[in-house]
Structure 1
Amino acid sequence: MLLFWIFISCFLQTPILLCSYRSSECLVKINYRLKGKGNMVIIGFFPAFAVYPINKTTDWRMMRFNRDFMVEFKLRNYQCILAMMFAIEEINNNPFLLPNTSLGFEVNNVPHGQRNTLATLFGSLSGSDNAIPNCGSARESNPTAVLTGPSWAISEYIGTLLDLYKFPQLTFGPFDSQLGEQRRFSSLYQVAPKDTSLTVGIVSLMLHFHWIWVGLFIIDDDKGAQTLSDLRSEMDKNRVCTAFVEMIVVSKGSYFTKSWKNQVQILESSANVIIIYGDSDSLLSLIVNIKQKLLTWKVWVLISQWDVSKFDDYFMVDSLHGALIFSHHREDIPNFTDFMQKSNPSKFPEDTYLHVLWHIFFNCSFVNTDCKIVHNCLPNASLGLLPGNIFDMVMSEESYNVYNAVYAVAHSLHEMILNQVQFQPHEKGKKTIFFPWLLHPFLRKTQFISHDGANMVLDFKRKSHIDYDIVNFWNFPKGLGLNVKVGTFSSNAPNNHKLSISSYMIQWATGSTEIPQSVCSESCHPGFRKTHKEGSVVCCFDCISCPENEISNETDMDQCVKCPETHYANTNKIYCLPKTVTFLAYDDPLGKTLCFMSLGFSSLTAAVLWVFLKNRDTPIVKANNLALSYTLLITLMLCLLCPLLFIGHPSTASCILQQNIFGLLFTVSLSTVLAKTITVVIAFKITSPGRIRRWLLISRAPNFIIPLCTLLQVFLSAIWLTTSPPFIDKDAQSEHGHIIIICNKGSAVAFHCNLGYLGALALVSYFMAFLSRNLPDTFNEAKFLAFSMLVFCSVWITFLPIYHSTKGKTTVAMEVFSILASGTSLLGIIFAPKCYIILLRPERNSLHYIRDKKYAKRRKPS
């Protein structure tokens, strides 16, 4: 027994089930018509099996039924037949629905081709095997409605004829908006719900798994074109890109169609997720090619009307394993599984189909004359013993629609009969005449709650949106054939809760537990941004690092975000860090150094002043205008203390005092030097005595230079403070990761005018000292004054380019250093020689030494 089932699962998994010659001929010759008695009959057309010639050149019109043909059993569609029989059995056993009326059924196989289909329809409607229109024999029961499907092509063939007679037709295949057009098929009703939210659900699934690079296989018809348009619109809205679009010509279930034209494109495509839209009969050749190529690394997204089990082959690995299928949500119908379990040739002896199946699968003896089994069957044989890939015991979507279609007809008949009894009383003993087209008003208005709680309506305008179950197809090892529900999609739910999916339950095509990736370009990590390639879709891009002080803290950002001025980007440019507030502080190494230099040089100046005060009666101190020397030393001492205003946390007062005190003190210093040089020039350059020279020397007129120059400086400072005074500012750009508190000069013009004024004073002092550098005198300091002014100008001329090329604390430090350098140069060059004589050579600081030196100079020429 075990070897038998291994044989069944491994060698009978071919797409076409080959049966014996006798059973095949039996099915074909009787044309498979199954009937169930009842007052009102529902006729069903189901493609239960199909006959194919082994030789493709065989002429179907001349073909005899012999060993040159084979039969394909469509067991998924046979489940629809069982669903119809089950629904009618329930209705007949229900005393509250159609009392005193019994429902019957008539099942017909849909043969290959439109001609044979219409011939079967004529024979069924006429009540005999003769396919002659309007020439039917008297029927014992009234045909009420016709069920067709699952293919839209079958419904269209039959609907064209039934619409002429206004005969009610209910199709259980997928909803088709074209079939719902009242002008074309006014007598047709679709049981299946609308798929208006299917494209939204598919795109939501793509976004959930971050699949933004997908391929599309779409049937090449009007419905496929409309679906492609809707799908592309939804994909573009959510930035999901299409790697390729392949329109497949409808093959209508033939195995002998050519393979799809761009095989290489699919095999080499970087899209690992491919959406297939179309029924399995129409795209049969496509799936055959996919299975033959063993594209096991692709994730296939299918729609509900796919019969995945019919594509079995000899390979152990199934290319469709791991496929995700969108199926209309439905609940299980109670007792339907038990009904299928008990369906056997003993219970339905008139069903030749079951006899053939028992003969093929359970090794029963078969009598060809009456197409019945006799004995030698497996004990307790049932359809439930067949492998799931051959016959699925789970109710399919088509079977669910057939079940509801039968109930829709029953409820409509019930309402019609009640209406006739109430408004059209007939005479006693006279039967009410029934015409099928009388059922239309009730079918359009029918509305009932199905066994699973769903609200069923046939009017397509009143159909509501349906929820979807997302099913994962498990077929490894081969023959497992399980459809496992892994998620749902509800279009009526809030935006963030429409899709619900359990990723851990999904078995992926690659066999990996990780979610497959399907992108055109690898994701840009945080710290990078996308830059789109010219001429390509938005999903194809390159990644470049964010610019300076910009970040991207998410994956696949289109633009980097600039950090605020108070923050800076970290090294990886993922997040912004707060900048440290800093300034030239006293505890900084640079601030400490400048502070010590300022206090040291200022103390040195005070020491020089003390030396001069102590030796104020000596010739060298008296010789160079004692008052001007004291003024210059005091001013230099204060100038060298100015850097203390630049160090420490800036304030409004310190910002204003910095430049103005610095300018004022250096103005006094330079004007003092200018006064000293002018005094020397007046004393030695004017050779002829006169009132003017005597008045200038006696009145000490050069001393007035100091207040005049200082007043001019005060005037400039007043203009500066009035128009644009200095203020506290923040420099967030100069130093990475720091916000530097600095004093903004306010007016750059005023600042440079201040420096220019000091430079002019220095140049005038330099030229005046330069003119008197060679005048004869023992203590003539003109040379030192000239050199000090030269150094002073050099310092500040060098300061200007450095000042404009540095930023932040460095700028402040350079200005402080320039103040110290210029101040110490004046102190050192002018007063260092005098201190040298006073402290180290006191013998030269006496009148006796001066007289001896003058006497020696006079005697030297002789």
Structure 2
Amino acid sequence: MLPLIVIFLLLQLPALVCTFDNEACLHRRSTSVRKDGDVVIGGFLSLYFFMYYTGVFGIKPTREFYFVPLMPSNYQNYLAFAFAIEEINRNPHLLPNISLGYEFHNFISCHWMMLESSFILLTGQHEIPNYMCGRESKCAAVLTEMSWGTLGQIGPLLDLYRFPQVSFGAFDPTLTDSVQYPSLYQVAPKDTYLALAMVSLMLHFHWTWVGLLITEGQKGLQFLSNVRAEMDRNRVCVAFVRMISTVAVSYLSAAKKHDVLTAETAFVNVVVAYFDTESAQDVNYNIVQDLVTWKVWVTNSRWQADLAGRDFILDPFHGILVFSHHHKEISGFKNFVQAVTPFKYPEDTYIITYWSKNFHCSFSEPNCSLKNCTPNASVASLPPNRFDTAMSDGSYNIYNAVYAVAHALHAMLLEEVQGPPMRNGEVMMFPPWKLHRFLKNIQFHNPAGDQVNLDDRRKLDSEYDILNFWNFPEGLRLKVKVGTFSSHAPRGQKMTLSEDMIEWATGTTETHYSVCSESCNPGLRKSPQEGKAACCFDCTPCADNEISNGTDMEQCVKCPDHQYANTQRNHCLQKAVTFLAYEDSLGKALASTALSLTVLTALVLQLYVKHRHTPIVKANNRALSYTLLISLTCCFLCSLLFIGRPSTATCILQQTTFGAVFTVAISSVLAKTITVVLAFKVTAPGRRMRQLLVSGAPNSIIPICSLIQLTLCEVWMGTNPPYIDTDAHSEHGHIIIVCNKGSLTDFYPE
């Protein structure tokens, strides 16, 4: 497997190296550039390096060494540095009568070369310090993209001399310790709300399943902690976390993780990539670019657009969303860039190397000067994927860093007004440590109007521009501002976004989705999957008479008693109020039956009245027969009280009226029975039985039983009488209005 990876590395090499006619010319040129001045500001920039090959695994290189060119973004940093120096020298109000110079050293991630560049700045000579006499250093401060790893290499050396170091890299909270890093200042704004800004974007697009790709280091770990806390707080799940090394030698180990990373990202459409690299040649970043395609990438401004902007057939980073620090445009920078040529700055190695790479120049043999370049060439005429004239965050920071040193020098010179800073023909010299007191308290507005200060405690939290990179037509790499994020805005208004301007990876404006499980529609609830993240769940239907009227509901809600769930179980419907009405079939049948029996009983009563003088009627106890027939008629009519909408009156009359008339009917039957029994007893000797029969004593049973019934009704009505009630459970979708019996204890004896 290892030989295959090496072959892959060598195949990728032509995309990185320059194909010059004579690279030896470049190799002989100095890797540092110097412009003299009364005071010099040093700078460490990673611009290019040489790669030497002697053959690996039997693979013979085509040449002894390869020249790996500088990145456009880093080259823009260099131009911003030079532009700031020239702008200050033209400013009559800042450092008047003092000329600023610069001294650049190509910063290579090699321990001995880091120390060599540091010694040159400190001593002003290119030989071994204290061995030979040479020019004295006029360097007041050094500007560098200082990272935690680099600081461990050159920081202790510069701190020995209390040499001011101004970092224009991304703000690093780990470098704010003034005891551990007394000579270091950071010009970049804080990234306190970067995690919140990215999570706000996830919430805006409803991305709940997001992968994290973080470069190793203190800042990467701090960002990982911040973004995971924000994601947990807003219920956004982490699909995977991968820490990517920024060291080039880890290229092989990253390649071995290809299968793992590809498998994890197969079901993730959104990946947050946080880059904190000190090397523009981040090989691991290219590996990721080749292996993971067609995702939505959300990243910070450290992302190298020029690396991803090569003309790939399928550009995996098309449509990437970048959170860049908001800053105003620097007037005159584009004109300065357009005027830069190697013929204007013949001693500038960086301009010559960049020109030869981008404008097809060749080198003349005697003095390695450029020839046969593209006529009227200018870096401003290059397409955005080759060189973007709009200032990047790094270039803006280095521009402010130069101004910070200049303002500190200006304040120091104003304090020392007793004597002129320099005399005729003399070089102005001062110990660099004197600048610390002024750098620490410096606060100013740059020419664009933005406030700059180097005090970490007074530093403002940055606002962010949300940039979208378009790549249609292929390789265009057009940077478009599509939104902003401000931590100072009211809640709910911190982020503004123009969705219609965003070009996604497919070249359309259709919004991408990234979820572990599809949303549960109304009528369903989320059921967590055991052993998986909270964003991974199954959708379960709600139980009977429960609903969920929104998406991704955790629990179903039970409908109130007067409502019921519809068949989709997403809405509670009002139950229909119903009762035994005359219009219903049952109501009609019961009413007809009651009326029919009433008429039949009335006809029998009429027949009894008509034949009241006949012996049969008389023998059947005419009075009791009338009473029985009348009470039966009333009983049948009482059935009508149970039909129709119940009211308080009907609820009370239903049982009491029926109980009273039915008691009369039963009492009449009982009286008739007793009369018959007494009639048979009269035939036997005994005067007492006859007296009871003749006196009509059996008829007294009717008032006695009726009195008892009325007494029970009075007790019932006085304690817990019947009332109107509803039954919401017997029939689905209906509320039945019924008469509640009140006290069952009183109802049953009755």
Q: Which one is further off, 249-258 or 439-448?
A: 249-258
Partner of 2:358: 361
Partner of 1:37: 36
Offset at 1:160?
2.7
Q: 1:17 to 1:450 in 2, by over 3 A?
A: same
Q: 1:125 to 1:281 in 2, by over 3 A?
A: closer
Q: 1:466 to 1:426 in 2, by over 3 A?
A: closer
Partner SS for 2:255: coil
Instruction: Tell me if structure 2 keeps the 8 A contact 1:149–1:155.
Output: no
Q: 1:244 to 1:361 in 2, by over 3 A?
A: closer
Q: Which one is further off, 567-576 or 600-609?
A: 567-576
Q: 1:285 to 1:412 in 2, by over 3 A?
A: same
Q: Which one is further off, 648-657 or 355-364?
A: 355-364
Equivalent-residue separation in structure 2 for 1:201 and 1:428 (angstroms):
53
Partner of 1:554: 550
Partner of 2:175: 179
Partner of 1:261: 257
Offset at 1:49?
0.5
Partner of 1:409: 405
Equivalent-residue separation in structure 2 for 1:126 and 1:135 (angstroms):
11
Partner of 1:295: 293
Partner SS for 2:173: coil
Offset at 1:522?
0.7
Offset at 1:728?
1.5
Letter in 2 for 1:22: N
Equivalent-residue separation in structure 2 for 1:104 and 1:65 (angstroms):
41
Letter in 2 for 1:19: T
Partner of 1:623: 619
Paired residues for 1:799-838 under 5 Å: none
Offset at 1:41?
0.6
Offset at 1:368?
4.7
Equivalent-residue separation in structure 2 for 1:467 and 1:133 (angstroms):
48
Equivalent-residue separation in structure 2 for 1:428 and 1:171 (angstroms):
32
Structure 2 stretches lacking a partner, 5+ long = 1-10
Offset at 1:531?
1.8
Q: 1:604 to 1:55 in 2, by over 3 A?
A: farther
Offset at 1:741?
2.4
Q: Does 1:543 align with 2:516?
A: no
Q: 1:99 to 1:662 in 2, by over 3 A?
A: same
Letter in 2 for 1:182: S
Equivalent-residue separation in structure 2 for 1:637 and 1:118 (angstroms):
121
Letter in 2 for 1:276: A
Q: Does 1:195 align with 2:211?
A: no
Instruction: Tell me if structure 1 keeps the 8 A contact 2:324–2:464.
Output: yes
Equivalent-residue separation in structure 2 for 1:464 and 1:246 (angstroms):
31
Q: 1:188 to 1:252 in 2, by over 3 A?
A: farther
Partner of 1:236: 232
Partner of 1:251: 247
Partner of 1:733: 729
Normalised TM-score (structure 2): 0.92
Cα deviation, 1:223-257, whole Å, max 9, x if unaligned, reads 22222121111111100111111222332587555
Partner SS for 1:460: coil
Letter in 2 for 1:261: K
Partner of 1:500: 496
Structure possessing the higher relative contact order (Cα contacts under 8 Å, 6 or more residues apart): 2
Partner of 1:51: 50
Partner of 1:565: 561
Letter in 1 for 2:25: C
Normalised TM-score (structure 1): 0.80
Q: Does 1:144 align with 2:143?
A: no
Partner of 1:398: 394
Equivalent-residue separation in structure 2 for 1:347 and 1:386 (angstroms):
19
Q: How many residues of Structure 1 are paired with residues of Structure 2 in the alignment?
A: 734
Paired residues for 1:762-773 under 5 Å: none
Partner of 1:858: none
Partner of 1:22: 22
Partner SS for 2:288: helix
Partner SS for 1:518: coil
Cα deviation, 1:296-351, whole Å, max 9, x if unaligned, reads 2x111111111132245674111111111111112221111111111101111111
Q: 1:662 to 1:596 in 2, by over 3 A?
A: same
Equivalent-residue separation in structure 2 for 1:395 and 1:117 (angstroms):
27
Q: Which one is further off, 590-599 or 251-260?
A: 251-260
Partner of 1:825: none
Offset at 1:205?
0.8
Cα deviation, 1:126-164, whole Å, max 9, x if unaligned, reads 21222437976233x621110001655335533232122
Cα deviation, 1:56-78, whole Å, max 9, x if unaligned, reads 769xxxxx997233423223211
Instruction: Tell me if structure 2 keeps the 8 A contact 1:310–1:390.
Output: no
Letter in 1 for 2:16: I
Query: Aligned match of 1:319 in 311, 316, 319?
Result: 316
Offset at 1:722?
1.9
Equivalent-residue separation in structure 1 for 2:134 and 2:535 (angstroms):
66
Query: Aligned match of 1:107 in 99, 104, 109?
Result: 104
Instruction: Tell me if structure 2 keeps the 8 A contact 1:199–1:230.
Output: yes
Q: 1:113 to 1:201 in 2, by over 3 A?
A: same
Instruction: Tell me if structure 1 keeps the 8 A contact 2:385–2:475.
Output: yes
Structure 1 stretches lacking a partner, 5+ long = 1-10, 59-63, 755-862
Cα deviation, 1:418-438, whole Å, max 9, x if unaligned, reads 11116x789998987511111
Cα deviation, 1:344-391, whole Å, max 9, x if unaligned, reads 011111112222333333233413553321x42221011123332222
Equivalent-residue separation in structure 2 for 1:90 and 1:530 (angstroms):
62
Q: Does 1:489 align with 2:488?
A: no
Instruction: Tell me if structure 1 keeps the 8 A contact 2:21–2:362.
Output: no
Instruction: Tell me if structure 2 keeps the 8 A contact 1:546–1:560.
Output: yes
Partner of 1:670: 666
Partner of 2:433: 437
Partner SS for 1:330: coil
Q: 1:303 to 1:285 in 2, by over 3 A?
A: same
Letter in 1 for 2:255: S
Partner SS for 2:457: helix
Q: 1:716 to 1:408 in 2, by over 3 A?
A: same
Partner SS for 1:395: coil
Instruction: Tell me if structure 2 keeps the 8 A contact 1:290–1:319.
Output: no
Query: Aligned match of 2:305 in 304, 308, 312?
Result: 308
Q: Does 1:743 align with 2:743?
A: no
Q: 1:263 to 1:490 in 2, by over 3 A?
A: farther
Partner of 1:803: none
Paired residues for 1:405-804 under 5 Å: 405-421=401-417, 433-684=429-680, 688-754=684-750
Cα deviation, 1:468-511, whole Å, max 9, x if unaligned, reads 11111222443111221111111111110111111111111233
Equivalent-residue separation in structure 1 for 2:217 and 2:262 (angstroms):
21
Q: 1:343 to 1:253 in 2, by over 3 A?
A: farther
Partner of 2:8: none
Offset at 1:265?
5.0
Q: 1:188 to 1:260 in 2, by over 3 A?
A: farther
Q: 1:432 to 1:80 in 2, by over 3 A?
A: closer
Partner SS for 2:84: helix
Q: 1:55 to 1:634 in 2, by over 3 A?
A: farther
Instruction: Tell me if structure 1 keeps the 8 A contact 2:566–2:572.
Output: yes
Q: 1:352 to 1:80 in 2, by over 3 A?
A: same
Partner SS for 2:189: coil
Instruction: Tell me if structure 2 keeps the 8 A contact 1:253–1:281.
Output: no
Equivalent-residue separation in structure 2 for 1:212 and 1:142 (angstroms):
55
Equivalent-residue separation in structure 1 for 2:156 and 2:127 (angstroms):
20
Cα deviation, 1:571-593, whole Å, max 9, x if unaligned, reads 32223333333332334443333
Q: 1:243 to 1:360 in 2, by over 3 A?
A: closer
Letter in 2 for 1:31: S
Partner SS for 1:630: helix
Q: 1:582 to 1:135 in 2, by over 3 A?
A: farther
Query: Aligned match of 1:208 in 204, 210, 214?
Result: 204
Instruction: Tell me if structure 1 keeps the 8 A contact 2:215–2:277.
Output: no
Instruction: Tell me if structure 2 keeps the 8 A contact 1:550–1:569.
Output: yes
Offset at 1:512?
4.1
Query: Aligned match of 1:272 in 254, 269, 272?
Result: 269
